[in-house]
Amino acid sequence: MEAKLMHALRYESYGGGVDGLKNVEVRIPTPVKDEVLLKLEAATINPVDWKIQKGMLRPLLPRRFPYIPCTDVAGEVLEVGPAVNNLKVGDKVVAMLSHFEGGGLAEYAVAKQSLTVQRPSEVSAAEGAALPVAGLTALKALTESAEVKLDGSGKQKNILITAASGGVGHYAVQLAKLGNTHVTATCGARNIEFVKSLGADEVLDYKTPDGASLKSPSGRKYDAVIHCTTDIPWKTFEPNLNENGKVIDITPGPSAIITSIVKKFTFSKKQLLPLLLIPKGENLDYLVKLVKEGKIKTIIDSKHPLCQARDAWGKSIGGHATGKIIVEP
Ligand SMILES: NC(=O)c1ccc[n+]([C@@H]2O[C@H](COP(=O)([O-])OP(=O)(O)OC[C@H]3O[C@@H](n4cnc5c(N)ncnc54)[C@H](OP(=O)(O)O)[C@@H]3O)[C@@H](O)[C@H]2O)c1
């Protein structure tokens, strides 16, 4: 029998950027065991997707070439594997695929049921697909690392969020404001009003001396920094932290790792905590419900058809998205 084909974008080796991504026709994957086959309606690009292509996570990722990148998707369940018990054909869902296998820049993809959650009609495919990596990272940083309670209970915390206009940052501001927090944020001048509209109490332009110093305009010291950009040294954070303040670094480079070890083993009250996302289906479900209830929203930077996903890839590599970049099959 002739195999059914789908349109996808994939690369065959490390490097190459936008030019390394090729439009291809490949077999539609088959779900096994606890997997579901999805007809995709939207996918998003995260910086980790092109970092994998650059070889920054070799030899772990990708598991093999050729590789169809992207993990965060929304779509409709077309087929279920024999061990699937909580999803059925026709369900509209949001899913996070495995970084080992990828598969998001395609018309169809297989997802594990454990990281596939229902998408109610109030949440569009694009709003849902944007959530997994960016939303789950913001949620973990705030609730687990910074210990903010999103029901608003607990003593008020002063939080700094860097790159608050980006994918992770824009969710982090909104989630932080569900808790009892005062939020200081950094972003570029063009996004100051946007970041205020997400709920930030004060916003610094990162290209000004005040922004570069990270000093709170109201003189607050931070209990936690959700650090969503790169290249800010510990010595810039340190004077702005409360006695027990923490920097949660979601892109820790070698110097951040060394600082975090030194702070831990010298029993420093001020800590630097590297964060690695370990996704949980229940947290993804929670985020989708927050979008449904209008408690947080996905801001969409731009939408690109799958056949022009290379433009979306280039945009993400450029590093100037406001919110999330979406690809639609
Ligand atoms: N640890 C994990 O598991 C994990 C998970 C998710 C993401 N990450 C990492 O977290 C980082 C952020 O991801 P993302 O998806 O939020 O990125 P993104 O959406 O590409 O971020 C783009 C935004 O960052 C802003 N920005 C750039 N440099 C800035 C600076 N120095 N100060 C303030 N804002 C700045 C840009 O504003 P302008 O356009 O005005 O410059 C733009 O709006 C990436 O390095 C990513 O790999 C890690």
pTM: 0.98
For residue 304, the model assigns a pLDDT of 98
Give, using CA atoms, the residue closest to atom 18 of ligand 1. Answer: 166
Give, using CA atoms, the residue closest to atom 33 of ligand 1. Answer: 163
Nearest by Cα to 44 from 94, 7, 117: 94
Is the distance from the beta carbon of residue 186 to the nearest atom of ligand 1 less than 6 Å? yes
**Which atom of ligand 1 approaches the CA of 163 most closely?**
34
Is the distance from the beta carbon of residue 97 to the nearest atom of ligand 1 less than 6 Å? no
Residue with tokens 């070889």: 55
**Which atom of ligand 1 approaches the CA of 134 most closely?**
6
61, 192, 228, best to mutate for ligand 1 pocket (most atoms within 8 Å of CB): 228
**Which atom of ligand 1 approaches the CA of 275 most closely?**
1
CA of 167 to the centre of ligand 1 (A): 7
Is the distance from the beta carbon of residue 164 to the nearest atom of ligand 1 less than 6 Å? no
For residue 1, the model assigns a pLDDT of 58
Residue type, 91: D
DSSP per-residue codes, 47-70: HHHHHHHHTTTTTTSSSSSSB---
- Compute, in degrees rounded to 10, the torsion defined by CA atoms 184, 296, 104, 90: 170
Is the distance from the beta carbon of residue 188 to the nearest atom of ligand 1 less than 6 Å? yes
Is the distance from the beta carbon of residue 167 to the nearest atom of ligand 1 less than 6 Å? yes
Give, using CA atoms, the residue closest to atom 42 of ligand 1. Answer: 320
For residue 136, the model assigns a pLDDT of 99
For residue 186, the model assigns a pLDDT of 98
51, 168, 276, best to mutate for ligand 1 pocket (most atoms within 8 Å of CB): 168
144, 229, 236, best to mutate for ligand 1 pocket (most atoms within 8 Å of CB): 229
Is the distance from the beta carbon of residue 47 to the nearest atom of ligand 1 less than 6 Å? yes
Give average pLDDT by consecutive 10-residue segment, the chain, 329 residues.
89 98 98 98 98 96 97 98 98 98 98 98 98 99 98 97 98 98 98 98 98 98 98 97 98 95 95 98 98 98 98 98 98
What is the per-residue pLDDT across 178-225, written as a single tens digit (0 to 9) for each? 999 999 999 999 999 999 999 999 999 999 999 999 999 999 999 999
Question: Encoding tokens for residue 96?
Answer: 């996070």
CA of 122 to the centre of ligand 1 (A): 27
Q: Are 166 and 191 in contact (CB under 8 A)?
A: no
For residue 3, the model assigns a pLDDT of 79
Lateral strand order in the sheet of 202-205: 202-205, 181-187, 157-161, 222-227, 241-249, 271-274
What would you report as the CA-atom Rg of the chain, rounded to the nearest whole angstrom? Answer: 20
Q: Are 108 and 79 in contact (CB under 8 A)?
A: no
**Which atom of ligand 1 approaches the CA of 162 most closely?**
33
